[in-house]
Amino acid sequence: MTRSAPLLLVACGALLAACAVGPDYQRPPAETPAAFKEQAGWKRAQPQDAGSASPWWSVFGDPLLDELERQVAISNQNVKSFEASYRSAVAIAQQANASFFPTVAVNGSGQRAQSSAGGHAIGQSVANQFATSLGASWELDVWGRVRRQSEGAEATAQASAADLAAARLSAQATLASSYFSLRAEDELKRLLDSTVEDYTRSLQITRNQYAAGVASKADVMQADTQLKSTQAQSIAVALQRAQLEHSIAVLTGRPPASFAIAPTTGLADPPAIPGLLPSVLLERRPDIAAAERRMASANAQIGVATAAFYPNLSLSGSYGFASSAIGQLLQASNSLWSFGSQLAETVFDGGLRSAELAQAQAGFDQDVASYRQTVLTGFQQVEDQLAALRILAQQAEVQNQAVASALESVRLTLNQYKAGTVAYTSVITVQTAALADQQAQLTLHQNRLTASVALIQALGGGWSTADLPGSGTASAAPNNKVSAASAAR
């Protein structure tokens, strides 16, 4: 081999490496409506207009909720698991990228051996042998196999980053829903306790009427039964509230025994939801982004499988020294070197490579279908919550009127009973109806808050594909933009 031959091989390899077999990735289209059906006048918005620099839960204006939500990104164990999975995916991408570079090894050896001539002890001799060398081997990426493997690994790491964002958003949305359910239980407790006070006064009125001979013993028993039943409902609220408090503790990564939320009064109003175009939803939901990145990874695997049909070209070389005396080891006269290349091609594999290519193509088709289904599910969830908010708002308006009428009916009927013009059963009837209407009013308020949280989650919670690590994922620290910047969203 001439001195210029190795350089020629390297140059040819570099030129051939410029091509990569297999299809270049193009995101398959997914059917996207022009507007959401369930909200008329849905405003046209750019992706950056749909979110804000503040975390999504800040729209509810609750400092305690804000504190709890921030703990989810830090201490929730499910989120930590996804974060570790992301770091693992980044490490795999780093492994794939390492194949672009040659492998270099340094060797050193020392040996002392005895040999004999003709098997007679008199001819035995002892000799030393020392050697050191620097060797390198490099598989040229002639057909883009390594490049496709790197593309696939980086796309998988990006999908894992989106999975992490989706897990964080899910945990935060679950916490918000649980928090508002707990606050609704506080309001229910307040309502029932207030009703118990009213029923206590009604019982005393009935006892006074009975003592005056204008009411029967049955009226007293009915009033007492109604009071005790409501007291039992008030006590039962504590069970659901305790379970919600325990759930919130676990979501924030704390044992329930060391966690408590003080009761309070008042329930947040449902917030205004920012406008968003359906097409932008593809950039706002982490689960859609994860499905799209898995398509890209599957597409790269087709290129890897295609490259297996072409020969592999590898280069290897070494340079070192060998000597019987360690003091003379590094002298130029004891140097040695080698350089070579190898071209290998599989000529028969029983259809193995064809089957692997078919498997890769089928895997890509599967991921395309999964991506499109994820997109459709995303649109459905947004439409569901838009419909829920619209209809619940209409229902709440009518229910508020019903509560006002029921409370007025209680006042009038109780006055009539005191005047002796109606039986106590009428009082029981209107009081029971009023309590049921107030409970329905509270449930509607809670449902509107829960639907608001669900809609924000369906819209991606302020997340964006810009939060994904870009090209060169393998060199990005796993706790940088994905873990830190997205943690507050």
Measured in whole angstroms, the distance separating CA 131 from the mean position of its chain's CA atoms is 55
Q: Are 261 and 247 in contact (CB under 8 A)?
A: no
- Span 88-107, average pLDDT: 91
Q: Are 409 and 430 in contact (CB under 8 A)?
A: yes
- Lowest-pLDDT choice from 73-77, 121-125, 303-307, 397-401: 121-125
Q: What is the pLDDT of residues 251-265, one digit of tens each?
A: 999 999 999 999 998
Q: Enumerate the domain spans of the chain.
A: 19-103+143-309+353-488
pLDDT of residue 471: 67
pTM: 0.85
Q: What is the pLDDT of residues 288-315, one digit of tens each?
A: 999 999 999 999 999 999 999 999 899 9
Which pLDDT band, with edges at 50, 70 and 90, does 1 fall under?
very low
What separation in angstroms does the CA of 217 have from each of 198, 221, 424? 20, 6, 11
- Span 458-473, average pLDDT: 84
Which pLDDT band, with edges at 50, 70 and 90, does 484 fall under?
very low
Q: Are 141 and 147 in contact (CB under 8 A)?
A: yes
Distance CA 270, CA 385 (A): 13
- Correct CATH for 19-103+143-309+353-488 of 3.65.10.10, 3.10.180.10, 3.10.450.50, 1.20.1600.10: 1.20.1600.10
Please tell me what DSSP assigns to residue 484: I
> What does 7-71 look like in DSSP terms, one character per residue?
HHHHHHHHHHTT---SPPP-PPP----SS-TTSTTPPP--GGGSS-SS-GGGGG--HHHHHHHHH
Which pLDDT band, with edges at 50, 70 and 90, does 354 fall under?
very high
Mean pLDDT across the chain, nearest whole number? 87
pLDDT of residue 53: 63
What separation in angstroms does the CA of 214 have from each of 209, 355, 417, 421, 426? 5, 94, 10, 11, 15
Helix (H, G, I), strand (E, B) or coil at 403: helix
- Span 338-352, average pLDDT: 90
